[in-house]
Chains A and B, each alone.
Chain A
Amino acid sequence: MSKFFVEGNVASALGAIKAGARFFAGYPISPASELAEYCSQEMPKVGGIYMQMEDEIASMAAVIGASLGGMKAFTATSGPGMSLMQENIGYASMVEAPCVIINVQRFGLSTGVATSPGQSDIMQARWGRHGDQSIIALTPSSVQGCFDLTVEAFNLAERFSSPVMVLFEASIAHLRERINILESEELHLIERKKPDVSPEDYKPYKPDERGVPRLSYYGSEHILKTTGLVHTETGNISSDARVCAALVERLERKIEDYQDELPPPKYYGTKDAETVLVSFGISSRAAREAVYRANLAGISAGLIELQTVWPFPEKAIAQYLSKALRVIVVEMNRGQVTREIERVVSRNLVDPLLRTDTNIFYPHDILDKIKEVHDI
């Protein structure tokens, strides 16, 4: 273990490398460029490859290609690039290629404000692709979190044979903090499961008891066939109704049924509080401080900090909110997580605190809101 004083972008890149990533493909974009720059310098030192592609579409494609060639691979981008990657992320879900996508969220729709933070890619992360599928998305709230949850993202990608996203904001990407970096040997790392049958008997898309296939790699004697078309266990295409139904259901359930393996929400403040905040990323740091100050003032308040935003941790949140009289969702968008919370608890309890003016929340903004709802 060693101490580093780095920004979130670098912490995330370090997490990827320590998790065993040896391929990065990307396209420069603010505010994620430092991540690419760091990989271009550091990947060669560990025998890895940095590739700067012609666009984000190609970047995502190259990452999936490297993954199907047996490597741990990832990319980093921001909202506009994320939009371009969506088609191939859907492909990764379909062919079950483990890979990691870092989305350093910036402000707004379209080109927005390239250098300001945002939290408005939550729904894009979940529903950006056509077709049904589940996806895993993690939301660190500190520079240490950028390292830890990027390592975790690679583990989950291999465990679930799926693309995994890490979403943080420009503000954490460029925030410098002192963090602990663990070496690969000190980390618990999950590696891809190898085929457990002979090449003759191998079916690349035969799922194990948890619904996850044992993917071979191109170049292996276990012949791998991947396609974005609906396919049978052999990887050959099919439009049979039963095959289609079974595949769509498995792709969803292999993740949704094992939510308890994903990083759970953290809880701060008064236990079973009357007023409970829900937040994530940079916003939850201010919310944590606000809850602390509210508690000092004798107000019964708590905070649920999401580490996993997708699949949405409904059960854990419902438990934390079982005694809540009011729920304040604090997020830098027009209510993307708020609507998820309204699915979990009565809408009447939910009073969001939203901000879409390029600024991050300050603790006093949130404390004012807590006091306001308490006076009602």
Chain B
Amino acid sequence: MSISQDYTDYIAWDRLPHMWCPGCGNGIALKGLALALAKQGIPRHKVLMATGIGCSGRAGSYVSFHSFDGTHGRTIAFCTGINVAQPDLKIVAFLGDGDCGAIGGNHLLHAARRNNDLTVLEINNFTYGMTGGQFSPTTPAHSFSSTSKHGKVDYGMDMCYLVAEAGANYVASTTVYHTAQLNKFINEAISTRGFSFVEIASPCPTYYGRHNNLRSAPEMMEWFKERALPKEKYDELTIEEKQKYIMRGRLVQRDREDFLTMYMNELNNE
């Protein structure tokens, strides 16, 4: 296969139109990935789109390259096996906040700890969209959802700090409103050897927005514009205040040995 340089080569145009709602941010994140792949000229057969369950889980249908659609929460664990079998394959897990933070939280932590050579893009729409708008681990405290009609009674989870602490080589966060930064972060993440993680706040006007007075996509975009703070400012907030804001910026960029490199080095040192 020839080296691709046009992002459109990575899209399965014959599978469109997609099934995502008007105003959904999944397409913006997907385009960010296609742009990064084109920029790096990665051949189509050397990249894998790995998804889980939920709205983001359909992304594999819309790419022209390898795709893997796993069981709910387990995608990252599947990817660790794929990575070992195919170390040269660029693996990108395109997952929702439920997949990453709830059912798959343990796998996320341990893949970051082992520093498996994967990229995880967490499309954080603060809700379980596919099942009708229930709250997720990243839904901010006091927010409304179809299972928190009186306001959510626990705190939203700070995924980036969690993954950074677990040992990932690259961690960043932004929103689909900040597309230039989004595209840059995705590009940096897939260039990283080892575990990389980008949290991408994404609008779900259908559920999260509707329950929280952000009924249209433009309203949600405005919300991101106002509520996404650069890391330095975000870090100054109290834990209660952080529930109302989104962090934007890079937390970690380092070069720890990834799992497979460390495995081979340990054996050679024997």
Q: Is A49 in contact with B84, judged by CB distance below 8 angstroms? A: yes
Of A25, A49, A220, A228, which one neighbours B71 at CB under 8 angstroms? A228
Interface of B is mostly: helix
Total A-B pairs, Cβ < 8 A: 135
Q: Is A224 in contact with B71, judged by CB distance below 8 angstroms? A: no
Residues on B with C-beta less than 8 A from A235 are 67
Residues on B with C-beta less than 8 A from A73 are 81, 85
Chain B positions 41-70 with a Cβ under 8 Å from a chain A Cβ: 44-46, 48, 58, 60-61, 64-70
Q: Is B86 in contact with A49, judged by CB distance below 8 angstroms? A: no
B28 within 8 A of A: no
- Asked if A225 meets B67 with Cβ closer than 8 Å, knowing A66-B85, A69-B89, A218-B48, the reply is yes
Chain B positions 17-32 with a Cβ under 8 Å from a chain A Cβ: none
- Asked if A221 meets B86 with Cβ closer than 8 Å, knowing A23-B81, A54-B107, A65-B81, the reply is no
> CA A356 – CA B66 in complex, angstroms?
48
Q: Is B70 in contact with A91, judged by CB distance below 8 angstroms? A: yes
Identity of the chain B residue whose Cβ is nearest the Cβ of A59 in the assembled complex? B77
B80 within 8 A of A: yes
Q: In angstroms, how far is the closest chain A Cβ from the Cβ of B68?
A: 5
Residues on A with C-beta less than 8 A from B74 are 57-58, 61, 87-88
- Asked if A69 meets B69 with Cβ closer than 8 Å, knowing A58-B110, A61-B74, A61-B81, the reply is no
Q: Is A68 in contact with B89, judged by CB distance below 8 angstroms? A: no
A64 within 8 A of B: yes
User: In the complex, how many residues of chain A place their beta carbon closer than 8 angstroms to a beta carbon of chain B?
Assistant: 41
The CB with the most chain B CB atoms within 10 A, among A23, A63, A223, A235, is that of A223
Q: Is A237 in contact with B70, judged by CB distance below 8 angstroms? A: no
Chain B positions 96-122 with a Cβ under 8 Å from a chain A Cβ: 106-107, 109-110
Q: Is A65 in contact with B80, judged by CB distance below 8 angstroms? A: yes
Chain B residues in the interface with A (C-beta under 8 A): 1, 15, 44-46, 48, 58, 60-61, 64-71, 74-75, 77-86, 88-89, 106-107, 109-110, 260, 263, 267
| 16 pairs, A vs B, C-beta closer than 8 Å | A23-B84, A49-B260, A51-B81, A61-B81, A65-B81, A65-B82, A66-B84, A67-B85, A68-B78, A69-B82, A71-B85, A218-B82, A221-B1, A223-B64, A223-B65, A228-B70
